[in-house]
Amino acid sequence: SLGQGGTLILTPDETPFTVWTYATDANGCNSDTLSMTVLNDPPLQVFGQPSEETEICQFECIDMSVGAVGGNGNYSYSWFEVDPFGDVPLGTTNVQSECPMEDTSYYIWVDDGCQYPAVDSIFIVVNETPDAEIQTEVIGGCYPFTVTIENNTDPDLVASCIWDLNNGDIIADCGDLEYTYLEEGEYWPTLTVTSEEGCSNTDSLDWVLTAYGYPEADFIWEPDPITTLANEVQFLNTSSGAISYSWDIAGMLTTQWPTPSFTFPPQDLAIFPVCLQAINEFGCVDTLCQDIFVESELLLYSPNAFTPDNDGLNDVFLPEIGGISSDGYLFRIFDRWGHIIFETNQRGVPWIGEFNNGDHYVQNDVYIWQIEAVELATGDKKRFTGTVVMAR
């Protein structure tokens, strides 16, 4: 018997639990017996996910969830972060996302408003992420452009390193990097470091590296061709992408004037190297050198008289001919009867008025001179004649 009275409060330990009841009147007569069976809700249980100790890296987040069974199904959730100064309340749903920076414990409180709340815990291990750090003192340069980038990452935290040079090249190296960019362009290299636990971090330079291009040096000249007679030359600067220039004209003239002029020596078949440097705003230099050819032209000058009296004035006779070769050269003097009185095959040797290279001078008279020579420009053999008066 559980007692008499109109109200009975029971807390059964096991279910199902059946209670029978009947009523007795003043005459001792009993009513029909009624029965009532009590069924308790299943025990409330909670399961946190992830269910095992889980490792993440610093700056990473983890999604946690909770599942509950038992009770009356009317669940409410309370998440807490364990803290030595007092647990920190978090969310109130069955999912929770957190980004801890150090090892952290969480617990979840599930209540159905009937049974005692159920609790589960989750422990997250946070592995240290290396702080990647690179730097350089260089901003750019003319390609091929070499840069040294320092890796200042703590080596004790790093297991592997990958450099991405932003041009398709990948280098695995944890030391400082020296690299040469071979093409014009802008590049933003990065370094990714990874710890033994697989935690990675990436750093890039504070600025873009620039491999500067070059100007294009070019020039023409007028007149073209240049000859021993037309030897005053105007250079026309046809360079592109430059802001300043430097000329070297056969070592005879250096100038920064963009379009200089120059008079070349009237030397037969001479070759003069002319170089132009074009410089852009980044200091990148392009150089073009071209050979200037001075073509020969036949040019004759011959005095019509000379006075070999050893006064130092007009003492010798030699026709000057430009544009001829020293090879095959022959200079002769004839008297009025056609006799040869002087002859030499050495260019530049004059006649001083003597007879057949002797000690005696010929008499005052009109003499015929003749030069045979090969023209430099064509290779043709030429003959030049004229007269000269000798007067002592």
At residue 300, does pLDDT exceed 70? Answer: yes
Strands 285-295 and 219-222: unpaired
Whole-number pLDDT of residue 360: 87
**Euclidean distance between CA atoms 266 and 69, whole angstroms:** 110
Phi then psi for residue 83, to 5 deg, are: -140, 135
In this prediction, residues 14-32 reach a mean pLDDT of 76
> What burial class does residue 185 get, using C-beta atoms within 10 Å of its C-beta: 0-12 exposed, 13-18 middle, 19+ buried?
middle
Cβ count near 319 (within 10 Å): 18
CATH code reported for the domain at 299-390: 2.60.40.1220
Whole-number pLDDT of residue 3: 60
Q: What is the pLDDT of residues 202-227, one digit of tens each?
A: 999 999 999 999 999 999 999 998 98
In this prediction, residues 347-352 reach a mean pLDDT of 94
In this prediction, residues 330-358 reach a mean pLDDT of 94
In this prediction, residues 326-332 reach a mean pLDDT of 94
Q: Verify cis geometry, omega within 30 degrees of 0, for the bond prior to 155.
A: no
- Winning range, highest mean pLDDT, from 6-10, 73-77, 209-213: 209-213
Question: Of the given ranges (159-163, 187-191, 380-384), which has the lowest mean pLDDT?
Answer: 380-384
Whole-number pLDDT of residue 12: 65
In this prediction, residues 55-62 reach a mean pLDDT of 95
CATH code reported for the domain at 219-295: 2.60.40.10
At residue 264, does pLDDT exceed 80? Answer: yes
CA distances, 258 to each of 228, 273, 275, 289, 373 (Å): 25, 18, 13, 15, 42
**291: confidence class by pLDDT, cuts 50, 70, 90:** very high
Whole-number pLDDT of residue 13: 65
Residue span(s) of the chain under CATH 2.60.40.10 come to 45-127, 134-212, 219-295
CATH code reported for the domain at 45-127: 2.60.40.10
Architecture of domain 134-212: Sandwich (2.60)
> What burial class does residue 90 get, using C-beta atoms within 10 Å of its C-beta: 0-12 exposed, 13-18 middle, 19+ buried?
middle
